């Protein structure tokens, strides 16, 4: 991942990160509503950031398809495939459950929903009523059973066009399994072509990532220059609960997993994962980060290619520890605010729903909000309460996406270690 000359890409990205945040915060506090700031945001920072995001998103569908087909074909042996698939599934379910539990314990201890001034809440909800209506409509369109049924796409091209990555993944997995079973000349040349697609995508991401330091600065400048710091302060207890829970998961649970189940030093892990972590924080999208995640897993962390491809690609949509934790906290926070009493059994049901909700959430900015709306409605908590947190959602999205992507990389290291042990 090193830049060809001079400073390493890691360092450049870290500088872009610091410059974007500092300049954005300064502009926000010094220039506020100034016209030039609007121009700088709308005509420079925002377009540069968006072009970078589009370049990353452009690679997601071909990469997901190619990575999964090749992952399955390279693993080859159905027993190894079953083992890696089973371990990945257990990892996702167990670590996501730990994440939601941390969140739910903290929200019960801190009780951020108590004592929030009703006038503040009303004005926050009123400010975001249009977006909330949109989210609530999307939320009511998803039902638990539909999430399951839609894993199997009726039309894989439509799934790709609509960004339904779970559908694309299912199709790719089936394709990979059949290609392994048939192993004719035809399938071998097909796999060769898919390998070509994968190599081309990785080359492209190698070029695109060179833009990351500048794009990261622009994305972070755009967000911080417009960020409502007032809202962050007003909802400080809620924001603090989410950030504390995410930090516990990232800095206690991840290092333990890395050390004891991955056999790697946590420091070496963070160093290898850094470009993906910074990209996740700046883009708020696990899917947009996927190309960088794959590159980090293979090159930065030395995870064998088939495992990296399999775990990170599935993980980008299915393994979202930060999102699950955030969903749990937000549902309970709003229940506390609206005075909806939840029994222990109801809280456990919310925990389970959050695990599956995180698997079903799309890896895009705000992807989990419709799922939260759905869970709120199921427990008689007013879904328009989401309006309360929209002002701080972007910041929390950056933090939770970072944990989501970190979790994918931890998973790839842990599964790779298990596989290495199983095959000696």
Applying CB under 6 A, does 366 fall inside the site for ligand ASP?
yes
User: Pick from 285, 292, 313, 336: which binds ligand ASP (CB under 6 A)?
Assistant: 285
Q: Which two tokens stand for residue 393?
A: 């959602």
User: Pick from 234, 319, 321, 368: which binds ligand ASP (CB under 6 A)?
Assistant: 368
Q: Which two tokens stand for residue 405?
A: 């992507």
Binding map of ligand ASP across residues 313-352, x = CB under 6 A, - = no contact = -------x--x-----------------------------
Applying CB under 6 A, does 224 fall inside the site for ligand ASP?
no
Q: Treating both helix axes as pointing N-terminal to C-terminal, what angle do 46-58 and 266-283 enclose, rounded to 10 degrees? A: 110
Of 178 and 352, CB closest to ligand ASP: 352
Distance from C-alpha of 383 to C-alpha of 390, rounded to nearest angstrom? 12
User: Pick from 384, 397, 408, 419: which binds ligand ASP (CB under 6 A)?
Assistant: 397
Question: Given the rule CB under 6 A, which of 14-22, 81-89, 295-303, 399-407 is the region that contacts ligand ASP?
Answer: 399-407
- Alpha carbon of residue 157 to chain centroid: 23
User: Pick from 400, 408, 411, 419: which binds ligand ASP (CB under 6 A)?
Assistant: 400
Q: Which two tokens stand for residue 412?
A: 């790839």
User: Pick from 49, 176, 363, 391: which binds ligand ASP (CB under 6 A)?
Assistant: 363
Tokens 């609509």 correspond to 162
Q: Treating both helix axes as pointing N-terminal to C-terminal, what angle do 60-75 and 78-110 enclose, rounded to 10 degrees? A: 130
Question: Given the rule CB under 6 A, which of 37-45, 262-270, 333-341, 366-374 is the region that contacts ligand ASP?
Answer: 366-374
Of 404 and 412, CB closest to ligand ASP: 404
User: Pick from 163, 304, 365, 382: which binds ligand ASP (CB under 6 A)?
Assistant: 365
Q: Any idea how long the chain is?
A: 424
Of 335 and 398, CB closest to ligand ASP: 398
Of 313 and 323, CB closest to ligand ASP: 323
Q: Is 352 exposed, middle or buried (0-12, 13-18, 19+ CB in 10 A)?
A: exposed
Question: Given the rule CB under 6 A, which of 101-109, 205-213, 240-248, 361-369 is the region that contacts ligand ASP?
Answer: 361-369
Output the smallest distance, CB 111 to ligand ASP, in A.
Answer: 23
Output the smallest distance, CB 345 to ligand ASP, in A.
Answer: 26
Applying CB under 6 A, does 293 fall inside the site for ligand ASP?
no
Helix (H) or strand (E) holding 48: helix 46-58
Q: Which two tokens stand for residue 53?
A: 């995001």
DSSP reduced 3-state for 357: helix
Nearest to 405 by CA among 306, 277, 252: 277
Cα separations in angstroms, 346 against 2, 112, 341: 50, 19, 9
Give one DSSP letter per residue of 360-403, joined into a string: HS-SSTTTTHHHHHHHHHHTT--GGGGHHHHHHHHHHHHHHHHH
Q: Which two tokens stand for residue 416?
A: 């790779």
Of 274 and 393, CB closest to ligand ASP: 393
Output the smallest distance, CB 135 to ligand ASP, in A.
Answer: 11
Output the smallest distance, CB 32 to ligand ASP, in A.
Answer: 28
Output the smallest distance, CB 366 to ligand ASP, in A.
Answer: 5
Nearest to 238 by CA among 336, 348, 310: 336
Of 255 and 363, CB closest to ligand ASP: 363
DSSP reduced 3-state for 213: helix
Binding stretches for ligand ASP (CB under 6 A):
284-286, 320, 323, 361, 363-368, 397, 400-401, 404
């Amino acid at each position: 991942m090193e830049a060809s000359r001079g400073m390493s890409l890691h360092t450049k990205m870290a500088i872009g990160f610091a410059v974007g945040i500092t300049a954005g915060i300064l502009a926000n506090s010094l220039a506020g509503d100034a016209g030039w700031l609007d121009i700088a945001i709308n005509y420079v920072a925002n377009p540069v950031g968006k072009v970078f995001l589009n370049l990353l998103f452009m690679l997601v569908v071909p990469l997901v398809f190619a990575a999964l087909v090749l992952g399955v074909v390279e693993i080859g042996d159905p027993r190894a495939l079953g083992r890696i698939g089973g371990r990945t599934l257990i990892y996702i379910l167990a670590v996501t459950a730990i994440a939601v539990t941390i969140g739910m314990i903290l929200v019960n201890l801190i009780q951020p929903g108590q004592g929030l001034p009703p006038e503040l809440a009303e004005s926050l909800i009123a400010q975001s009523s249009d977006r909330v209506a949109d989210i609530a409509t999307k939320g009511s369109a998803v039902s638990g059973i539909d999430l399951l049924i839609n894993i199997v796409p009726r039309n894989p091209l439509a799934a790709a066009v609509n960004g339904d990555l779970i559908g694309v993944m299912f199709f790719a997995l089936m394709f990979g399994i059949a290609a392994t079973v048939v192993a004719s000349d035809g399938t071998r040349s097909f796999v060769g072509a898919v390998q070509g697609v994968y190599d081309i995508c990785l080359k492209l991401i190698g070029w695109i990532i060179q833009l990351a330091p500048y794009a990261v600065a622009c994305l972070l400048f755009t967000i911080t220059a417009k960020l409502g710091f007032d809202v962050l302060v007003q909802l400080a207890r809620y924001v603090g609960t989410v950030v504390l829970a995410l930090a516990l998961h990232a800095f206690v649970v991840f290092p333990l997993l890395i050390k004891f189940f991955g056999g790697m030093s946590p420091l070496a892990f963070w160093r290898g994962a850094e470009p993906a972590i910074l990209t996740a924080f700046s883009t708020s999208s696990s899917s947009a980060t996927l190309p960088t995640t794959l590159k980090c897993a293979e090159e930065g962390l030395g995870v064998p290619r088939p495992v990296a491809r399999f775990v990170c690609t599935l993980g980008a949509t299915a393994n979202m520890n930060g999102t699950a934790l955030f969903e749990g906290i937000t549902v309970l926070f709003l229940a506390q605010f609206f005075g909806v009493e939840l029994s222990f059994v109801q809280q456990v049901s919310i925990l389970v729903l959050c695990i599956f909700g995180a698997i079903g959430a799309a890896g895009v900015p705000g992807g989990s909000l419709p799922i939260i709306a759905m869970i709120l409605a199921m427990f008689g908590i007013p879904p328009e309460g989401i309006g309360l947190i929209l002002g701080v959602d972007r910041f929390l999205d950056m933090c939770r996406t970072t944990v989501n992507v970190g979790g994918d990389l931890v998973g790839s290291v842990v599964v790779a270690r298990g596989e290495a042990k199983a095959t000696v």
